Amino acid sequence: MTGLTSSVTRRATSSLGAWRSDATARWLFMWPVVLLIFGLSVFPLIAAVALSVSRLVFANGNINLTFVGALNYNELLFGTERVHFLGLLKEPNPLGWAFLFIAAGWVAYSWLGLARSGASRRELFVRAIGGLAVIVFAWYIAQTLLSQGGRPGSVLVTLIFVVGGITLQFGLGLGLAILATIAVPGRRLFRVIFLIPLTITPVGIGYMWRMLTDTSKGPFEPLLVAFGLRNWTWVNDPWSARLAVIIGSTWQWTPFVFIVLLAALEGLDHETREAALVDGANRWQVFRHISFPAIVPVSTTVILILLIETFKIVDMPAILLGGGPGTATQSMTLQAFLDWNTLNLGRSAAIALMLMIFVSVVATVYVSVVRRPGAAEA
């Protein structure tokens, strides 16, 4: 009897220990949360995919969902919305042809250099596919931006915002971070001032920048008159309108770059830099060979975040110019938003999915390039 009791006790204790194990705790506490987050992430994606291949119509209090296949994508890439989405493609001018030949020459030179280095067939094939994509994209730029009568669509407008915005945001943020590390009186006050745009909602920044860019009665109106720009306005020219959007976005995101890079710079080893200065190096050499290589990992992460956020830009062009003049400042996200407002939900979902694929490809290529062996030393 005693042996039976002890056996039952051991089994109960063993079962209780199994329930208290790490694996059980993981199943009980972690997996339900993971499944919930996974469901909240995957369900909208599945719904967007289903909506992008359908036409949804609200009629007589009912919702009619009709499967149309690739019709929404066909409209954007080859149909009635092609000019709006991809742009107006024309024969490149001499500058466009020169740009295309330079791009093709660079691709060929890079591929031949890789072939001479003894790369595998797989690496050569992947590089050839990448080079072909670069040439196609260069041809697309030449037909829209470097042609007579061509104009960019929302795809290229988004890329203009990404390249121009990130260049200005990172450059200004890094410059302000370097200035904030200099021991000068009042630098703490300047750090707080530089962070003010980060505390304002993006919509508020858009309306504030709209007031600042008002050339008729804005605060800069006397300055514009002094430079002979009395009747000038941002919306007269597509490029000035895009510049206004880029400047407003830069004012919004530069504080983020500033605060992250400032923390990275202040975390560096000061003794190494001081030793380099004692050995005769100037401040530019110290920054180029010591400080900047040390903050490259942080910088690549900051640029990746800016890349993803700028691809989704919608508030600044919508509030400042409503996507105008015409569609000159209409990003892919803004085009999807306008289609959603007009109840063209299928085409809106198609644009959103293509934007997701585009961002994923660009971000993956960027990460693979910056993390490639030897990239940091280069």
Taken in order 7, 9, 12, 15, the sign of the CA dihedral is negative
Give the 3-state secondary structure percentages of the chain, helix then strand then coil, rounded to 5: 75, 5, 20
**pLDDT confidence of residue 169:** 93
Write the burial class of residue 372 (CB in 10 Å: 0-12 exposed, 13-18 middle, 19+ buried).
exposed
**pLDDT tens-digit map of 90-144:** 999 999 999 999 999 998 998 888 888 877 888 888 888 888 888 998 999 999 9
**Predicted confidence band of residue 57 (pLDDT cuts 50, 70, 90):** confident
Specify the pTM. 0.84
Q: What average pLDDT does this structure show over 254-262?
A: 89
**pLDDT confidence of residue 7:** 54
Cβ pair 241, 325 in contact under 8 A: yes
C-alpha to C-alpha distance for 159 and 166, rounded to whole angstroms: 10
**pLDDT confidence of residue 230:** 67
The two tokens of residue 334 are: 């803004």
Domain ranges of the chain: 90-149, 154-370
Say if residue 271's pLDDT is above 70: yes
**pLDDT confidence of residue 99:** 92
**pLDDT confidence of residue 155:** 92
- Taking CA atoms, 296 is separated from 51, 106, 184, 302, 303, in Å, by 41, 26, 26, 10, 10
Say if residue 185's pLDDT is above 80: no
C-alpha to C-alpha distance for 173 and 168, rounded to whole angstroms: 8
**Predicted confidence band of residue 362 (pLDDT cuts 50, 70, 90):** confident
Residue of 259, 217, 365, 351 lying closest to 304 (CA atoms): 365
CATH label, 154-370, candidates 3.30.930.10, 1.10.3720.10, 1.20.1600.10, 3.30.1360.120: 1.10.3720.10
Q: What is the DSSP string of 167-228?
A: HHHHHHHHHHHHHHTS--TTHHHHHHHHTGGGGS-HHHHHHHHHHHT-TTTSTTHHHHHHTT
For the chain, the maximum distance between any two Cα atoms, rounded to a whole number of angstroms, is 107
Q: What average pLDDT does this structure show over 261-270?
A: 83
Report the range of poorest mean pLDDT among 21-25, 128-132, 143-147, 205-209.
21-25
**pLDDT tens-digit map of 60-83:** 777 788 888 889 999 999 988 998
